[in-house]
Structure 1
Amino acid sequence: MQARSLSSKLLALAFGAGTILGCKSTPPPPTPPVDLLHVPSPDWRDQIIYFVMTDRFANGEPGNDDQGAGEFDPGNGAKYSGGDLKGIESKLDYIQGLGATAIWITPPVANQWWDPLVNYGGYHGYWALDFTRVDAHQGTLEDYRSLSRALHGRGMYLVQDIVLNHMANCFRYTRYDPADVTAGVVLNTGAKPACGPTQAPFDQWDLTRPEHRDAHVFHWTPTIADYANREQELGWQLSDLDDLNTENPAVVAALKDSYNFWIREVGVDAFRVDTVFYVPPTTVQDFLHSQDTAHPGVLEYARSLGKDGFLAFGEGFASDKPFEDTMSRKVALYMKDPVTGEERLPGMLDFPLYRTAGDVFARGSPTSHLAFRMQRGAALFPRPQLMPTFLDNHDVDRFLSGGSQAALRQGLLFMMTVPGIPVIYYGTEQGFTEQRGAMFARGYGSGGEDHFDTEAPLYSLIRELTTLRKTHAVFRHGTPSVLRQNDARSGVFAYEMRNGADLVLVVFNTSDEDTLLDNLQTNLPEGSRLKLLASLDSGAGDATVGRGGRLSLKLPARAARVFRPDGTTTPLPPETARITLSSASGSTVAGDFELTGTATGVSSFQVVVDGALGTAQQVAVEPDGTWRTTVAVGGMVDPDVQHSLVAWNEEAQVLSDTLTFRVDRAFKDLVTHEDPAGDDTGPEGRYHYPTDTSWGDNHQGDLRRVTLQGSGTVLKLALQTAAITTTWNPQNGFDHVAFTIFVDVPGRTGLTVMPQQNASVPAGMDWDYRIRVHGWSNALFDTRGASATQDGTPVSPAASIEVDAASNTVMLTLPNQLFAGLTSLAGVKVYVTTWDYDGGYRPLVPTAEQWKFWGGDGTVDPLVLDDTPVLTIP
């Protein structure tokens, strides 16, 4: 990606070519009123949100950092770092310069500062004690009003994060008896600054007091044990946070009053509603739309203040597996009542798209996964254009913790060219890998430096992409149609965005190698000129639609291009060459097969399978114009996947028709290792699991059997452990364990150091690929840049993940691209380790702690619970 070339193209569009091409620019914001606290709502389709975790962004008032409760320590990620509302206001030039038009902040309300039951602090804002006061660490009400006025004066908008489901952790259960809710309860008397909420009616939190119990402001329940149990999801505690009884009208009335306060007193323009899946949809509907004059719904109240388009979007942490939509339907449920059609939330965070976009761009999944997700989202969600889109946030790993810079650039371009409200998580523009690292020098994980570099490559790229989106209304208001996908692997993904007569074409190559876009039907006239609006590869230029309205392009690794027909056509040169295939599409084969055909005007060409130019086979044409070749299918194993091939001569720019086929092959067991039970205690048998009850006595890190299976050059690992748990609702289907796997490919020179694990692989192997998989991430690294402290370089495609909970087995399938050049898997070596991962390998400390492994020194001792010997495929 050449940032300078993209910048020059976009600047030309913004200041000249955009008008010539008939682009519809974003209308200027209306002249703000004299009182900048309250301004009319914008068209949210035209906004770009910058999401700030206030405590970690900028410190404008050091005097409020430490409230004297032992809660402040920038060296500790569990405690306050010092960011505040004044800090955000001081950086508005930086944020607006990026192209953002709105700022979303984490809850600014008075919080529980320190919870000794979990040894963690409320710096993030989601543990409220009072929904109507600004937390002392954040500043004052006047500071908040000042930020609001400063934003509105720039034509920008303010989004406040709010919580309906829970408040701070003031009680927990050691055991639970629904017949006696006071049995087994522990009050959090050591919490700072106070044990319970101070705001009425939420101050009735002490279930040991009969009058509090009888008020039913809270549910007197334990923490959720089964996220698939809807009763628990709605009425039990999320991670021990005291669950509000939102079926109680008095509670909902107080919540409406509390959040209407911020609209009235601060001029907030939108709410992000946290954890909505844990609140009944009918409660959400009442909270938003109630006509109660004493306690109006927040959308009704905002309308009374002139904010007719007040936006509320919910957070439902939901992601679907490929070609499934169960969780997407749950997201849609919170936007509209499926029976009555009554409106609920105007928007929801597009978590389903987040997961699939990460799988495709960062982990190299087939682009058909993204095609399905876009199509289902358009069909299921009432208002896709009001659904904020994102690549990462404060609750998940940073994109760059397991994805490459090139993948992130593609993800950003995708987010800026599809429906939805793009959300940029603070620090993405500076290349952050730390989930909640600070932008300011004295904050947590900052490395002692400020990170507000407006010349940083990713800052420059995002600025260019926001300009692209603002310049062309089709990206903000248009409707997408997927034109091409790759069913088998990473590679081509193409879609059009259309808004009336306005049309753009977006083309990606998500692969780390060159790929061929062949015979894409554009439905445009032959010879149509496609003007290049933006690209991520320096060699890109305008394109011309070929015969039959088809477009074919050679796309470099990680290319992305945005085209717009300029309305002109150019006569095509006479056809001088032709290649035909004798086989018909749609067959299923069990192994390598012969392909034949004819050719004129060329002496040779390449057979390109699934778009992959790096493995394309050169074929010579016989004097009589015939040809034949064998198509190898050793890396193809899934009978449900449709593959494609095309014959192509680059010099003559001639292609055959595209042929499709499927492959039906079986996996065979290659190596089985039976691992002893109970040896998940580290290299010297002295490690212990964290003491938190969520680990229980499950021994999730105890390997029991590891089986290596193969089909051609595709490798599958079946990892059986003592238990599979899903306590924290992990998207990958297992939690409380991370697998780190090292793969040694014959004929290559690798490394022996095990990054971040204080260890080296056993004698007899060096690794070429390293896989790190846990409940929320899936990353593949090669050895470039790897060291004792550095992961290496993220590459794709990553392993695909399946979980068989009945047999306590996690199955990882490694694609044949990892074994390029091999004809079989013979000689491949694999080494498997277990630990756990939470934004980094979970710490190891000498003595027992709630959230850390213990029994060793994590600065020098190996971070390995259990491991296998080196497993070599015969």
Structure 2
Amino acid sequence: MHAFLSLFLSLSLFRAAYAATAEEWRGRSIYQIIVDRFALPQGSDTTQCNPGDQTFCGGTWNSIRENLDYVQNMGFTAIWISPVSQNYEGARTPYGDPYHGYWISDASKLNSRFGTSDDLKALSDELHKRGMYLMVDVVVNNVMGLQTDLNNLSSYMFKDPSQYHPYCPIQWGNTTSEQNCWLGDEKVPLPDVNTEDPGVISAYQAWIKELVQTYNIDGLRIDAAKHVQSEFWPKFCGAAGVFCIGEVFGDNIDEVSSYQGPLDSVLNYPMYGALTEAFSLPGQLNTSAITETMEIYKTKFKDPGLLGNFLENQDLPRWANMSVDPQSMYNAMAFNFMSDGIPIVYYGQEQGFHGAADPWNREPLWTSGYTNTTANQIITKLNTLRNFLVNQTSDSSKTDWLHSRAEVLTTDAHGLAIMKGDVVSILTNLGSPPANVSVAVYTPYSNSLMMTDILSCKQFVVGSNGTLSVEYSLGGQAKIIVPSTLLQNSGMCGAEIAAGSTPKGQLASGAPRSSTFSSSLILIAITFVGLLGSSLV
């Protein structure tokens, strides 16, 4: 009996190994962080970080953990952090130092610049305590080197030259070349790992399984996914046992969509292109780019509800660098939250950062003072509504918003209206100045139904033929309109929360994910109790 008790107590002390599935990620919203640039340890000098210097500024896993309130208060239910693996260590390169985390040397080791193993575990534990998920960026396609002849591989995970493809510059548009030749350039080459080699395949699978289990990681963002043969990904992600979303850079829907299958999902570059074409000011103001992309979704993407929707990331100019009017970002942002897909916000977007491409789009966040800006407030409202809708129980009286498909209600030169579940989103590219423009949107709702715009809390009444009329005499604000009765118990726009209940705008994510470990532990407990009972008879 004592042996069984000792075994049970030992097992109960193990870190639970969870497996967050694609379905469990579908209802999340993600805040993307470059570890070095999100927050500093207490007492640090906050004036010494110029992104143009391309060097380390001092952010750590611990400083993220200590400032999670900022992220959670905006309603985000997951964070995505830059790579945690060991990077190049040596003389400064022509492109600076690897503060961003993407210049891998040995993937199997942690990057000591950002903390210790215990620090990363503590960040993961704190996120899960808050009911949030952890997504980690991983680089599999390449390592970083300062030569093209692979002379010295002693500091790399793969030490045999045969485990790399021979050097060749990429011929863009040639799939074989994109997969086998080297990213980077002659100043900073990025040797291409031979991911067809059986030894590389098995080593990567063992590494990712251990990384996920050791740090209780919930999902992976995969860098440069299209530069690896698609056959590699199912077994790699299978070994990880968690949701995998890949970067397939470019707006070619045929190419991007072909990776949803080998991977659970991809970042939605085609829609990013359409959103910039429709909303950026000045710009083409081509709203049909969005409707055409949504139509193509129906035949190209396996599951649009899992696509990663974004307006900014570490490889692109900030939205405010391309568009002079903040309302353009608010409207495009509303689309990403209220259409099909998982919304992703790059740190600093909520602060209106306006840096151009790398390195200027990697500003330190602490210079903003973590201010509660207009963008911050809009994101909070969008997250609150989305989390509320995700938590609605699907039954005969309610629409399953999360699994419904977004449909276009109307489109014209000034914007478009979409409907997903019970939510009508009316979006415009008019910008901030008042405009003598109105739009009539025909909905399936009945005459005289009371509806509420959750961004302004303004009331609307459905007219004849299900018409919602919106005018822009105060400027081109986005409208996210829902039946007023739907907001009951949401805490939004004056809706009260029933006594003793949890606001449904807060994602009910404190419940643990499915855990094979937990299930096994329960079975062990049952077996132990049974054996204990037998021993007492």
Q: Does 1:480 pair with 2:406?
A: yes
Q: Does 1:57 pair with 2:38?
A: yes
Which of 280, 288, 298 pairs up with 2:240? Answer: 298
**Structure 1 unaligned runs (5+)?**
1-32, 66-71, 173-184, 188-194, 205-211, 290-296, 300-309, 320-326, 337-343, 569-874
Which structure has the greater CA radius of gyration?
1
Q: Which residue of 1 aligns with 2:415?
A: 492
Q: Does 1:421 pair with 2:342?
A: yes
Aligned residues of 1:94 and 1:452 also touching (Cα < 8 A): no
Q: Does 1:393 pair with 2:313?
A: yes
Aligned residue for 1:484, secondary structure, equals strand
Q: Structure 1 residues 280, 98: CA separation in 2 closer, same or farther (over 3 Å shift)? A: same
Q: Does 1:218 pair with 2:164?
A: yes
Q: Structure 1 residues 434, 115: CA separation in 2 closer, same or farther (over 3 Å shift)? A: farther
Q: Structure 1 residues 157, 423: CA separation in 2 closer, same or farther (over 3 Å shift)? A: same
Deviation at 1:520, TM superposition (A): 3.6
Deviation at 1:518, TM superposition (A): 5.0
Q: Structure 1 residues 266, 249: CA separation in 2 closer, same or farther (over 3 Å shift)? A: same
Q: Which residue of 1 aligns with 2:176?
A: 231
Q: Once the two structures are superposed, what CA deviation does each residue of 1:417-463 show, in whole Å capped at 9, x if it has no partner?
A: 11211111111122211369999xxx98559x643435332222211
Aligned residue for 1:477, secondary structure, equals coil
Amino acid at match of 1:480: A
Q: Structure 1 residues 452, 94: CA separation in 2 closer, same or farther (over 3 Å shift)? A: farther
Distance 1:231 1:516 in 2: 51
Amino acid at match of 1:478: S
Amino acid at match of 1:250: G
Aligned residues of 1:417 and 1:469 also touching (Cα < 8 A): yes
Aligned residues of 1:509 and 1:515 also touching (Cα < 8 A): no
Q: Which residue of 2 aligns with 1:270?
A: 219
Aligned residues of 1:406 and 1:558 also touching (Cα < 8 A): yes
Q: How does 1:430-449 map to 2 (within 5 A)?
A: 430-434=351-355, 446=364
**Structure 2 unaligned runs (5+)?**
1-11, 391-399, 487-537
Distance 1:409 1:73 in 2: 28
Q: Structure 1 residues 160, 140: CA separation in 2 closer, same or farther (over 3 Å shift)? A: same
Distance 1:450 1:34 in 2: 41
Q: Which residue of 1 aligns with 2:255?
A: 330
Q: Structure 1 residues 551, 99: CA separation in 2 closer, same or farther (over 3 Å shift)? A: closer
Runs of 4+ in 1 over 6 A off after TM superposition: 33-36, 436-439
Q: Higher mean Cα deviation, 99-108 or 73-82?
A: 73-82
Q: How does 1:236-255 map to 2 (within 5 A)?
A: 236-239=181-184, 240-255=189-204
Q: Structure 1 residues 528, 149: CA separation in 2 closer, same or farther (over 3 Å shift)? A: same
Q: Which residue of 2 aligns with 1:365?
A: 285
Q: How does 1:156-171 map to 2 (within 5 A)?
A: 156-171=132-147
Q: Once the two structures are superposed, what CA deviation does each residue of 1:311-337 show, in whole Å capped at 9, x if it has no partner?
A: 110001111xxxxxxx1121121112x
Aligned residues of 1:509 and 1:555 also touching (Cα < 8 A): no
Aligned residues of 2:450 and 2:459 also touching (Cα < 8 A): no
Aligned residue for 2:402, secondary structure, equals helix
Q: Which residue of 1 aligns with 2:82?
A: 106
Aligned residues of 1:112 and 1:128 also touching (Cα < 8 A): yes
Q: Structure 1 residues 164, 186: CA separation in 2 closer, same or farther (over 3 Å shift)? A: closer
Q: Once the two structures are superposed, what CA deviation does each residue of 1:117-136 show, in whole Å capped at 9, x if it has no partner?
A: 63422111111111121112
Q: Does 1:261 pair with 2:184?
A: no
Q: Structure 1 residues 199, 237: CA separation in 2 closer, same or farther (over 3 Å shift)? A: closer
Amino acid at match of 1:370: I
Distance 1:151 1:523 in 2: 40
Which of 376, 379, 382 pairs up with 1:465? Answer: 382
The number of aligned residues is: 452
Aligned residue for 2:376, secondary structure, equals helix
Distance 1:280 1:40 in 2: 25
Deviation at 1:566, TM superposition (A): 5.7
Q: Structure 1 residues 73, 155: CA separation in 2 closer, same or farther (over 3 Å shift)? A: closer
Q: Which residue of 1 aligns with 2:8?
A: none
Aligned residues of 1:114 and 1:120 also touching (Cα < 8 A): no
Q: Which residue of 1 aligns with 2:7?
A: none
Distance 1:543 1:248 in 2: 63
Which of 249, 257, 265 pairs up with 1:317? Answer: 249
Q: Structure 1 residues 514, 459: CA separation in 2 closer, same or farther (over 3 Å shift)? A: same
Amino acid at match of 1:147: L
Q: How does 1:620-769 map to 2 (within 5 A)?
A: none
Q: Structure 1 residues 379, 566: CA separation in 2 closer, same or farther (over 3 Å shift)? A: farther
Q: Which residue of 2 aligns with 1:505?
A: 424
Q: Which residue of 1 aligns with 2:116?
A: 140
Deviation at 1:514, TM superposition (A): 2.7
Amino acid at match of 2:278: V
Aligned residue for 1:479, secondary structure, equals coil
Deviation at 1:56, TM superposition (A): 1.0
Amino acid at match of 2:291: A
Amino acid at match of 1:45: R
Distance 1:97 1:534 in 2: 17
Aligned residue for 1:559, secondary structure, equals coil
More strand by share: 1
Distance 2:274 2:109 in 1: 38
Q: Which residue of 1 aligns with 2:67?
A: 91
Distance 1:495 1:421 in 2: 16
Deviation at 1:74, TM superposition (A): 5.5
Q: Once the two structures are superposed, what CA deviation does each residue of 1:297-323 show, in whole Å capped at 9, x if it has no partner?
A: 322xxxxxxxxxx2110001111xxxx
Deviation at 1:370, TM superposition (A): 0.8
Amino acid at match of 1:247: E
Which of 544, 548, 563 pairs up with 2:462? Answer: 544
Which structure has the higher relative contact order (CA within 8 Å, separation 6+)?
2
